[in-house]
Amino acid sequence: MREVLAQAAFQLFLERGFERTTVDDIVARAGVGRRSFFRYFPSKEDVVFPDHDRCLAEMTEFLAAVDDGDPVGAVCDAARIVLRMYAADPEFSVQRYRLTREVPGLRTYELSVVRRYEQTLAGHLRGRFGADGDGALRAEVIAASVVAAHNNGLRLWLRSGGAGDPEAAVDHALDLVREVWERPAEPSPALEKPGPAGVTTTGSGDNEVIVMVAAKGTPMWRVVQQIEAAVGES
């Protein structure tokens, strides 16, 4: 049913444009009732990206089970799950790519989808790096790099009309990121100094409290970083 609705919607978007297609048009084409549509898709935008929720769930599951030894490699592999979803149906993926470039509302929607992947990858890295010191910063920057590299490779393939194997371009792009982030770092003056603040949480439930002790002169942003690390806020 989901599939049938997505196909009907897409035919209509291509025939008469996204803006001029209504949900009523889609259910009429699919031969189902209006309520069926909203059971599967919260909005007309969602029907353009029917697989991202499943893909995000798969990514989360993969990362929960992955080996701890190579966190940057793990998030690169997690990104490849998205690639495989696109590669599984080249024709649909290419049509969607073209449609998305023409409809500003879809481009914005796609950005929010991409952001959810990025946050999922960053969350995994934060868990591995620890959110102390620069853990959260590194997690966010690496997640953004991985997503940008993946999308660069994916877009090359989509622009080519879905010809050939997209994996080579994406592997190459992700290798660049791994190579850069897994090279041993030369310490910079700032990185050598761990933040002098310590934060612990005690108690439980509603009575849980944060206790923070920081050396005189600790910058406020560092204090905030440390507290957030302790309470696990992202």
- Sites for its own copies among residues 70-99 (CB under 8 A): none
> Which three-class secondary structure state does DSSP give residue 39?
helix
Task: Give the contact letters, 121-160, x = binds to its own copies (CB under 8 A), - = no.
Answer: -------------x-xxx-xx-xxx-xxx-xxx--xx-xx
For residue 192, state whether it binds its own copies (rule: CB under 8 A): yes
> Could you tell me the two tokens for 64?
């929960």
| Segment contacting its own copies by CB under 8 A, of 1-9, 20-28, 61-69, 102-110 | 102-110
Nearer to its own copies, 130 or 164 (CB): 164
Long-range contacts for 35-42 (Cβ within 8 Å, ≥24 apart)?
36/1, 36/5, 37/5, 40/1, 40/2, 40/5, 41/5
Q: Which is nearer to its own copies, 96 or 222 (CB)?
A: 222
Q: For residues 62 and 56, what is the distance between their CA atoms, to the nearest angstrom?
A: 10
The rounded Cα 59 to chain-centroid distance in angstroms is 9
Residue 26 as a binder of its own copies (CB under 8 A): the answer is no
Q: Which stretch binds its own copies (CB under 8 A): 5-13, 47-55, 80-88, 191-199?
A: 191-199
